[in-house]
Structure 1
Amino acid sequence: MSEFPAYDEVHVISDIHMGGKPGFQILRETQRLANYIRWVAAQRPEGRVALVLNGDVFDTLAEDIRGYVAVDEATATLTRIMDDKSFSGIWEALADFVKKKGRTLVIVIGNHDIEVSFPSVQRLILSRLAGEDLLARARIEFSTTGAGHTCLVGNARVFCTHGNEVDAWNYNRYEDLAKVARRLNAGRSLEPSEWYPNAGTRMVKEVMNEVKRRYAWIDLLKPETSAAVGTLVVLDPSQAAKINSLLSILGERQRGSGQVDQRLSAEGFQPRQATGAPAITVDQLLGPNVSAGIQGGGPAGAQTADDMLLAAEKGFKQPGARATPANETLGTGGLIWDRLTGWITGVGKDEALRRALKDWLADDKTFDITDQDDTYKQVTASVGASTDFIVTGHTHLERAIDMGGSRYYFNSGTWIRLMRFSDAMLKDAASFKPVYEALTDGGMETIDKAKFGGESFVMDQASAVSISLEDGKVVGRLTHIEGDGTGKPRVIEQFARP
């Protein structure tokens, strides 16, 4: 008997992000997803097929919960999501899936659905999908300790993990999640103040969610740590006050860096310099055009945005510090407010945003499926050579990379909408004007309908990864699910392992 489950086919999707009320939801293709689940269920009728939901299945950060994690209201929150008519069809399809012999559903924890680690939530999901059917319940597995899911397809070892395990912004403290579960089982609660979130969670809850109420599309922008943050500051300079939050959020990101090293390895922690990702600064987040505006176009060697923020923070925290416009109005953000709004007023908000986007997207490889991004580098460095296929998610950016030696890496992308700025859109003020108008409208419906140069603003790209045994070879594919989801997925890239 193998120590790992063996399948004829494994299908992996991630970053579904079911959550939020209408108008606050970023998953659109729900019927397509339900039909795709049924398509997977119909494969290899006499064989063994697994469907892996590889993290961020739910998005509790889009829900109205107390604090940063739903504890007492965890089951109520997930029940609301599953009952929402936007998502209920997906759960009906999953229930049909686990009723079929030879099917296995694996749910891997992400960083937007950490409540799945709680026993009460797992019991809720089991009950919703399988009721009292013990065979159906046995076909559902959870991976919530950061270990991912390992299985075999033919002679190939497959490892699926969300990918936030190596992300200093969004790491999960699995040990603390286990403590919460022990409290809940013991009839105790957790005060919101007791849970200190990671930097990514703070960014979503403290910054992005408020902005999302005005600009519903902000979650769709990539890369999120530069384009999204900078865009919100340029579109609405009053959000410069959020820079105050960014200082502590960036600090938490740096603390997180010390916890993610070798998280996937059994060897324990290694020195930061050996495996760590580089620090991210406010200047990097905002880009040279916005940073120059904040600095007032000063000469080379002038204070960076980070220097200014730290100086303001120091003065603001000093006991008995004299009140000034900088700390009286926005705390650490007052000086930045003055300079940023002056810069935007000088060039025009639309032109300021166009210039900033050109900064952030210069030499951008966001949508290059062969780009060896940080998630690829850090996950592959942490996974043993005996693993033949590695599948992640988390970044929302699909990847298909031949690692050499008959080993392959995939990122299963996402099912939520993604926005993509083309060079033609950013070419000049005239070409950017209709784009700017669509952005400032703020509504998701406007973004969904927008087309520029005959090209849709929102990418219609629902991604999946499949790994299957075919004629003695194990074939891995990155695919797109199109139309209503009932047809065979379109192959984007494939690798065959002998």
Structure 2
Amino acid sequence: MSDFPAYDEIHVISDIHMGGNRPSFQILKETRRLAGYIGWVGKQCPAGHVALVLNGDVFDTLAEELPGYVAVEQAVTVVERIMKDASFSCIWDALAAFVAGERRTLVLIIGNHDIEMAFPTVQRLIMKRLAGDDLVKRARIEFSTIGAGYTCTVGNARVYCTHGNEVDAWNYNRYEDLAKVGRRLNAGRSLDPKEWYPNAGTRMVKEVMNEVKGKYKWIDLLKPETQAAVGALVVLDPSQATKITNLMSIVGEKTRGGKEVNQRLSAEGFQPREQVDASPVTVNQLLGPNLREIARSQSQQHLQSADEMLAMAEANLGRPNAQITEPAAPLGTWQLIFDRLTGVPKDEALRRALKDWLADDKTFDYTDQDDTFKDVTAAVGSSVDFIITGHTHLERAIDMGGGRFYFNCGTWIRLLRFTDAVLKDRDSFKPVYEVLIDGRMEAIDAATFGGESFVMNQTSAVSVKATNDGVVGCLRHVIGDGSGEPQVIRQFVRA
């Protein structure tokens, strides 16, 4: 294990999502707390070696108003704007103070919202902001932007940190393509926007989410990058009807992408995209049972039965790039589905969409073995004792057995909690609906239901420390102004 950096303790946070050149597009709230936490980490184990790992999605360039899907020539300008933004500058001041300390190391790992961090020009900008021209301070900053994650040792334990999008078919990065862009930037060449093929999650954000977000500032707090959540988007913004065909192709691309990333964390290769065909996506997957019931209940006012209509939709969904047409009716198949969804009161349609999305919800169960846990742990070798991810925004702390442990360090952005009680019926959902339709982040932040705040006061971190009893891994909640000891939520000891 001597080949890897060795620390007395490391502290890991993920999914900060600094970005948004409009305040209403900024989803990171606890900026002062984060700055305080960075300062607290810098004071730990004064005589030892301490690392602070930012485990992906440090920036959120998708929240910036930019043409195309990736900032290339504008990358430095965009990242510099984010670092200078009054909302985030205190965080960068705290990071600069951290790398000024002896035996402190800052590690920045790439995610799927900050892919520009792979470019050498952006890395130099970050180093300049945090360390100036001081070579000693610069040596305390490390980047992991090639999809390899970051491996180190703490005591006698091996720790592996990776964002987690590597196993997410919506949001995988094509690292060779990023390297190609970096080579072009260094060589003074540009990138034709047509040359960049975005992943499905990026398309969802840029083509649909950002437009919906113009009215409903909270929409990406739901992280609706699942098929059932498409129904919620349809209900919320009827003006998006013309884009539904594109949404279908995004779902198809997600299915195809899944075949590309199934070995992303391994040393083996993967199938080139041109050799992979998308699998059919069904209406059952796309809508969910509650919204399908709306479609069926509204069918009597149309010439075609709901079952025939849904069957036609499924046939077309199997060809995600095809035009959605229906010879038996003047409207396209998807338009018929859309009409049925909007044929009931909007509040009831949205309630049903959220029930579909949250069916069997284990969002806040930190012991749940979700898909990211399954896929990452299957790809990581048994020599790794602590595996730490992010990406899902959902904290996890799981004992894998045999002295091995898995953590997801959650997120620092706002989290909304929809309880069974508020989704029970139309009356219970009414006050929630009014806040959501209001659309303003200020209304979201101020809302309480059943005596509890709608926005959870939860900012997560993971620590791994060498102690006299062994190596201790903890899932923690950072509280208050961040300057005090974080609250321990779950702890494991590897003797």
Task: With the length of structure 1 as denominator, give the TM-score of the two structures.
Answer: 0.92
- Structure 2 residue matching 1:205: 3-state secondary structure: helix
Give the structure 1 partner of residue 212 of structure 2. 211
Matched, 1:354 2:361: no
Q: 1:187 to 1:222 in 2, by over 3 A?
A: closer
Give the structure 2 partner of residue 12 of structure 1. 12
- CA distance in 1 between counterparts of 2:111 and 2:272 reads 25
CA displacement at 1:242 relative to structure 2: 2.7
Q: 1:301 to 1:409 in 2, by over 3 A?
A: farther
- Structure 2 residue matching 1:23: 3-state secondary structure: helix
Q: 1:227 to 1:36 in 2, by over 3 A?
A: farther
- CA distance in 1 between counterparts of 2:307 and 2:335 reads 23
Percent identity at matched positions? 70
Matched, 1:428 2:425: yes
Matched, 1:303 2:303: no
CA displacement at 1:307 relative to structure 2: 1.4
CA displacement at 1:314 relative to structure 2: 8.3
- CA distance in 2 between counterparts of 1:436 and 1:220 reads 15
Matched, 1:416 2:395: no
The Cα offsets for residues 165-211 of structure 1, whole Å up to 9 and x where unpaired, read as 00111000001101111111000000111101000000000010000
The Cα offsets for residues 362-405 of structure 1, whole Å up to 9 and x where unpaired, read as 22111110111110000000000000000000000000000000
- Structure 2 residue matching 1:424: 3-state secondary structure: coil
CA contact (8 A) 2:260 2:272 kept: no
Q: 1:218 to 1:156 in 2, by over 3 A?
A: same
CA displacement at 1:228 relative to structure 2: 4.3
Structure 1 unmatched ranges of 5 or more: none
Give the structure 2 partner of residue 442 of structure 1. 439
User: Any residues of structure 2 matched to 1:91-110 within 5 Å, and which?
Assistant: 91-110=92-111
Matched, 1:188 2:162: no
- CA distance in 2 between counterparts of 1:279 and 1:400 reads 35
- CA distance in 2 between counterparts of 1:278 and 1:462 reads 38
- Structure 2 residue matching 1:410: 3-state secondary structure: strand
Structure 2 unmatched ranges of 5 or more: 300-304
Runs of 4+ in 1 over 4 A off after TM superposition: 269-272, 277-282, 295-302, 311-315, 321-325
Aligned equivalent of 1:326, options 299, 315, 331: 331
- CA distance in 2 between counterparts of 1:43 and 1:312 reads 56
CA displacement at 1:325 relative to structure 2: 4.3
CA displacement at 1:279 relative to structure 2: 7.9
Give the structure 1 partner of residue 302 of structure 2. none
Whichever residue aligns with residue 310 of structure 1, its letter is: L
Give the structure 1 partner of residue 364 of structure 2. 367
CA contact (8 A) 2:229 2:353 kept: no
CA displacement at 1:226 relative to structure 2: 4.8
CA displacement at 1:432 relative to structure 2: 1.0
CA displacement at 1:431 relative to structure 2: 1.4
- Structure 2 residue matching 1:152: 3-state secondary structure: strand
Give the structure 2 partner of residue 33 of structure 1. 34
CA displacement at 1:8 relative to structure 2: 0.5
Q: 1:271 to 1:400 in 2, by over 3 A?
A: farther
CA displacement at 1:288 relative to structure 2: 1.3
- CA distance in 2 between counterparts of 1:220 and 1:233 reads 17
CA displacement at 1:257 relative to structure 2: 1.5
CA contact (8 A) 1:247 1:309 kept: no
CA displacement at 1:361 relative to structure 2: 1.8
- CA distance in 1 between counterparts of 2:24 and 2:386 reads 38
Aligned equivalent of 2:474, options 474, 477, 486: 477
Q: 1:164 to 1:316 in 2, by over 3 A?
A: closer
CA displacement at 1:301 relative to structure 2: 7.6
Whichever residue aligns with residue 13 of structure 2, its letter is: I
Aligned equivalent of 1:466, options 463, 468, 487: 463
- CA distance in 2 between counterparts of 1:388 and 1:360 reads 34
Whichever residue aligns with residue 368 of structure 1, its letter is: D
Task: With the length of structure 2 as denominator, give the TM-score of the two structures.
Answer: 0.92
Calculate the aligned-residue CA RMSD, in Å: 2.5
Of 135-144 and 301-310, deviating more is: 301-310
CA displacement at 1:255 relative to structure 2: 2.4
- CA distance in 1 between counterparts of 2:99 and 2:486 reads 21
The Cα offsets for residues 431-471 of structure 1, whole Å up to 9 and x where unpaired, read as 11101100100111101100011011111110000000111
CA displacement at 1:238 relative to structure 2: 2.9
- CA distance in 1 between counterparts of 2:431 and 2:158 reads 49
